[in-house]
C-alpha cells in the first residue's frame, strides 16, 4: 500500500497546523517547512477545509487553524477522504478480470486493506502530536514545541 503525495501532504499539514495551534499557520510557511510546492499545498488545504478539518481565515491576518480538536481527527478517516483510489488491484475498482469471483488474492488484498485502515483508525491527530515525538517534530519544523505534547500549550523551544 502506498499513499499518494496528496494524502501525505494532507497529513503533514494537519500535523503542522496542530503543532502550531493556537496560532494561525499559512500555506507559505507550511510549504517552506516541508520543502513542498505552495500550489499543490493550496489544493490540499482547500480540501481539508471542505472536509471540516481545518478552518481557513481569509484576508490580512488570515491563516489556517484546526476546525476540530486533534483528538477528533482520525488518521484513517483522513486517508479515506484524501485518497482518490484505495483499489489495490483493478478488480477492486470494478475492472474486468477472468478470475474475480473465486480469487483468493482479491480477498487477501481486501483483508489487508481493511487491516491497514483499521490500524490508522486507532490513531488521532492528537496521538501524532503527543509527547516527545511532537516536541521533536515541532523543533524540526522550527515551531515552538508543545509542553508535554499537549496541543495548544506552548513553550519556547529553548525551554523544553
Which of these, 109, 54, 63, 115, lies nearest to 81 by C-alpha position? 54
- Mind listing the pLDDT tens digit for each residue in 66-81? 999 999 999 999 999 9
Domains of the chain: 5-149 (1.10.10.10)
Total-model pTM:
0.83
Distance from CA of residue 62 to its chain's centroid? Answer: 21
- Mind listing the pLDDT tens digit for each residue in 70-110? 999 999 999 999 998 776 666 666 666 766 667 788 788 88
Phi, psi of 55 (to 5 degrees): -115, 130
Residue length of the chain: 160
Amino acid at each position: 500500500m502506498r499513499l499518494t503525495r496528496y494524502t501525505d501532504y494532507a497529513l503533514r499539514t494537519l500535523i503542522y497546523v496542530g503543532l502550531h495551534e493556537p496560532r494561525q499557520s499559512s500555506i507559505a510557511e507550511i510549504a517552506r517547512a516541508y520543502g513542498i510546492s505552495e500550489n499543490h499545498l493550496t489544493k490540499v488545504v482547500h480540501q481539508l477545509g471542505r472536509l471540516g478539518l481545518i478552518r481557513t481565515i481569509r484576508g490580512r491576518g488570515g491563516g489556517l487553524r484546526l476546525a476540530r480538536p486533534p483528538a477528533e481527527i482520525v488518521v484513517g478517516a483522513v486517508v479515506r477522504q484524501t485518497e482518490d483510489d484505495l483499489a489495490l488491484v483493478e478488480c477492486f475498482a470494478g475492472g474486468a478480470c477472468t478470475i474475480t469471483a473465486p480469487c483468493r488474492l482479491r480477498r487477501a488484498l481486501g483483508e489487508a486493506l481493511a487491516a491497514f485502515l483499521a490500524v490508522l483508525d486507532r490513531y488521532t491527530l492528537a496521538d501524532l502530536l503527543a509527547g516527545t515525538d511532537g516536541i521533536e517534530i515541532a523543533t524540526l519544523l522550527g515551531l515552538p514545541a508543545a509542553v508535554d505534547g499537549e496541543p495548544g500549550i506552548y513553550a519556547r523551544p529553548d525551554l523544553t
